[in-house]
Amino acid sequence: MSGTHTKAIGVETIGMTMRFGAFTALDDVSIKVPAGSFHALLGENGAGKSTLVKCMMGFYHPTSGDMLVDGRQVAIASPRDASALGLGMVYQHFTLVPSLTGAENLVISREKVPGVIDWRKERAALAQFMERMPFKLPLDVKVAELAAGEKQKLEIIKQLYLGRNFLVLDEPTSVLTPGEAQEVLGLVRGMTKAGDLTVLMISHKFHEVTAFADDITVLRKGRLTGTGKVSDLSHREMAAMMIGDQPIAALDSRAAPKPDAEIVLKVKALKAPDRTGLKSIDIADLGVRSGEIVGIAGISGNGQKEFLEVLAGQRARDQGEVMVRGSAYAATRAEARALNVRLIPEEPLKNACAPKMTVAENIAFRTFDVDGNGKPVSWISAGAIKAFSARLVEQFKVKTASLSSPIASLSGGNVQRAVLARELTGEVDLLIVSNPCFGLDFSAVAEIRARIMKARNAGAAVLLMSEDLDELLELSDRILVMSEGALVYETPIAQASVQTIGEHMAGHH
């Protein structure tokens, strides 16, 4: 219950080792997180970060190693033990129940809930609790109706409500807008400074780590490769600890845009219903020229997803026209093929793959039914599919056990590489991309961005929708802001300011 622990606690691991059979996921890792500090845990996917925190939280039983809480050795056999000691975890995906209200979520997650809940009393207690919190949130709204930032705040509040004063935050800002991320981390930072909370944050984002954390620990392949004060380390040093001496794909230099280049994608007066069916998206006028990247920024849920779905043919439009190189485009397979339109949607496993089909089949989706000259074939050759895919897997460095493994068995980065391989092979006149690097690690992100830039320089018109403003600023030639289903602001990259873009995203204009 709230109020049992009021002070932050310090946590230490000593020689934490975890083996799964012959595989060592975590090798002799000792970290020290003093009470009231904000500690960042860095590492690539598969570096052992989640294994470490799962050992700390009692989800795994470490092969060897000890835990100290406030300097005393403790045995944590289950998540229940961890929470009794005041250790809590906020997951990357939300663990709130969407159809319950915030208040219902908080009350039901408590250890002891009375058989019949006296809502009058609970509400009063919650209001009192919320007064002590820096976060302001509506608790009587269903969680499903909250914005991502609000959900993340509620997750943190839930842990505090349950009396947990050591929080593991697993990539807490991966689903937040820059503004939301700043706010949430700022408030958490304030609580650690006040000595109410200790935080261990798993993150990929260096700028967040630099802005908010006191110390970092870096893991690579299950081993501790570096630790130190954030103030003593540069981004370059952190990156070196994370990825070792492995090369990072460099972004192609930007070829100068030609202002008179052909307008490849033209969208006019497009209207389509949004996800709820209650509102609609309304794109008045949008043109994307060959050889430029047009970025669309916006807080998730402002119609970007629906816009992409219309362009991808996943959603019917009410009216308006979409033209590609002067001809009407309704996203049929034949049109996409004739006009060289390629698509990299978000959540590629869900939107761009058949998860249970093989890597080879997935990579051949665009080409399996045509021969070398683009003529339809009546007999599909498994050998040709394999040969084609093998070449692309090699070229795009897709790591897969075999070409006949189901694509769902690949890691997120490799699924995205496979989709890129399929979409960027051959001639590309229009490339539509949405959140291409969501949830991917450092080297995959760099590589994927480099590929998109390369496609632009080769003359493709690129429409890039992203919730990651850094990504848009890095790649785009122009940035448009989408808010409440409409494009409300446009700026060339040279004059782009995060401040102004953020204000338009939040709808303050």
Partner 1 sequence: METTDIGLWGVPLAMLGGAIRVSTPFIFVSLGEAITERSGRINLGLEGTLVFGAMSAYAVAVMTGSPWLGLLAAALAGLCFGLFHGWICKFPKVNDIAIGIALMLFGTGLAFFFGKPFIQPSAPDLPAIPFGNWSDIPQVQAALNVNVLFLIGAALAVFLWWAFRNTRVGLIVRVVGDSADAARAMGLNPNTVRLLATGVGGALAGIGGAYLSLYYPGSWTERISSGQGLMAVALVIFARWNPLGCFAAALLFGGAGALGPALQSVGVTQGYYLFYAAPYILTLIIMIATSSPSRTLAGAPGELSITK
Binding site for partner 1 (CB under 8 A): 79-80, 91, 93, 95-100, 104, 107-109, 113-117, 119, 273, 275-277, 315-316
CB of 385 to partner 1, least distance (A): 29
152 Rama sector, left if φ>0, alpha if ψ -120 to 50, beta otherwise: alpha
Would you say 38 or 161 has its CB closer to partner 1? 161
Q: Rounded CA gap, 126 and 130, in Å?
A: 6
Sign of the Cα pseudo-torsion (496, 499, 502, 506, in order) = negative
Per-residue CA distances from 98 to 113, 153, 159, 453, 495 (Å): 20, 14, 17, 38, 40
Closer Cβ to partner 1, 107 or 267, answer by number: 107
CB of 4 or CB of 381, closer to partner 1 = 4
How many angstroms separate the CA atoms of 318 and 306, rounded? 12
Give the tokens for residue 263.
């307008």
Q: How far is CA 383 from CA 355, 359, 393, in A?
A: 21, 14, 15
Q: In this complex, which beta carbon is closest to partner 1, that of residue 315 or of residue 422?
A: 315
Tokens of 293: 């990247």
If 0-12 CB within 10 Å is exposed, 13-18 middle and 19+ buried, where does residue 503 land? Answer: middle
Shortest Cβ 94–partner 1 spacing (Å): 8
Nearer to partner 1, 21 or 115 (CB): 115
Q: How far is the CB of 116 from partner 1 (least distance, A)?
A: 5
How many CA atoms lie less than 13 Å away from 291 in the CB half-sphere? 13
The answer to whether the CB of 491 falls within 8 A of the CB of 501 is yes
Helices (H), ranges, 354-492: 359-363, 382-395, 412-424, 442-457, 469-475
Shortest separation between residue 118's beta carbon and partner 1, angstroms: 8
**Is 273 or 287 the residue whose CB approaches partner 1 more closely?**
273
Whole-number minimum distance, CB 92 to partner 1, in Å?
12
Q: How far apart are CA 234 and CA 212, in angstroms?
A: 14
Element (H, E) at 500: helix 498-505
Residue 126 or residue 505: which is nearer to partner 1 going by CB?
A: 126
Judged by beta carbon, residue 105 or residue 367, the one nearer partner 1 is: 105
How big is the chain, counted in residues? 509
**Least distance CB 91 / partner 1 (angstroms):** 8
The residue type found at 496 is A
Residue 17: beta bridge partners?
64
Strands 430-434 and 341-344: parallel
Shortest distance (Å) from residue 100 CB to partner 1 = 6
Residue 314 beta carbon to partner 1: minimum distance, rounded to whole angstroms: 11
- In the complex, least distance from residue 122 CB atom to partner 1, rounded to whole angstroms: 10
Rounded to 5 degrees, φ, ψ at 436 are -70, -20
Evaluate whether 481 touches 487 at the Cβ level (below 8 Å).
yes
How many whole angstroms separate alpha carbon 451 and alpha carbon 186?
A: 34
Q: How far is the CB of 112 from partner 1 (least distance, A)?
A: 9
Choose between 226 and 301: whose C-beta lies nearer to partner 1: 301
CB distance 348 to 415 below 8 Å: yes
**Closest to partner 1 by CB, 65 or 313:** 313
**Token pair in block for residue 133:** 């919190």
| DSSP H stretches of helix in 400-468 | 412-424, 442-457
For partner 1, which is the closer residue by CB, 37 or 50? 50
| Residue 290 structure tokens | 């060959």
What minimum distance in Å lies between the beta carbon of 276 and partner 1?
7
Query: In angstroms, what is the minimal distance from the CB of 74 to partner 1?
Result: 19
Q: Which residue lies nearer to partner 1 by CB, 95 or 404? A: 95
Nearest alpha-carbon partner for 13 in 42, 59, 53: 53
